[in-house]
Amino acid sequence: MEVNEILEPKNLLIAVGVMVIVLSCLGMANSEQWAEWAWDDEPVGEHDAAYEQMWALHMLPMGIMAIGTGLFVKGKPLAQMSMLASASILLVIGGGMGGYMTGEHGYDGTPPITWMILPILSLLLTLVLGIVGYMKFKQFNEE
């Protein structure tokens, strides 16, 4: 049994979507704590917690779209959407929220590792989703 037979874009999209929704809800519920972790040494105001809530809410539709795509899109378009969704999410997280842009503005504190397990797992699954989407797309083009 090959990897592309085991890993299906549909299942990965639904799994990543559920994880993103859970993370979004956790972010909205724990916004003050996330703000303290993120700004590290700097004083944290109410507006910082509000920004954390807004970022968490901003991620919720991405989870819903991932689940919807996994449920309603089939065949070659599913493979294409898997690649596109993976690249988009990795760009938003890596380039903005968890990577370059936040570090440039002093927003670079690190939460305890127990709070990072689910986000790291989500990013890894998102990367795998893009790879699996590419493998399926390639398979459709060979047929």
Per-residue pLDDT at 104? 66
Predicted local confidence at residue 70, as pLDDT? 95
The predicted pLDDT at position 107 comes to 65
Q: At what angle do helices 75-91 and 46-72 cross, to 10 degrees?
A: 170
**Residue 40 C-alpha from the chain's centroid:** 23
Both tokens of residue 125?
A: 């699954």
Indicate the pTM of the whole model. 0.83
Residue ranges in the chain whose pLDDT is less than 50: none
- Please tell me the predicted confidence (pLDDT) of residue 48: 84
- Residue 142 DSSP label: H
| pLDDT computed for residue 103 by the predictor | 64
Domain span holding position 21: 3-142
* 3-class SS shares of the chain: helix, strand, coil, % to 5: 85, 0, 15
Q: Are 66 and 17 in contact (CB under 8 A)?
A: yes
On whether the CB atoms of residues 12 and 128 are closer than 8 A, the answer is yes
Q: Which residue has the tokens 């370059």?
A: 100
Residue 131 belongs to what H/E stretch?
Answer: helix 113-142
Task: Give the pLDDT score at 112.
Answer: 78
Residue 62 backbone dihedrals phi, psi, to 5 degrees? -65, -40
Give the chain's domain count: 1
How open is the CA angle 135-83-24, to the nearest 5 degrees? 130
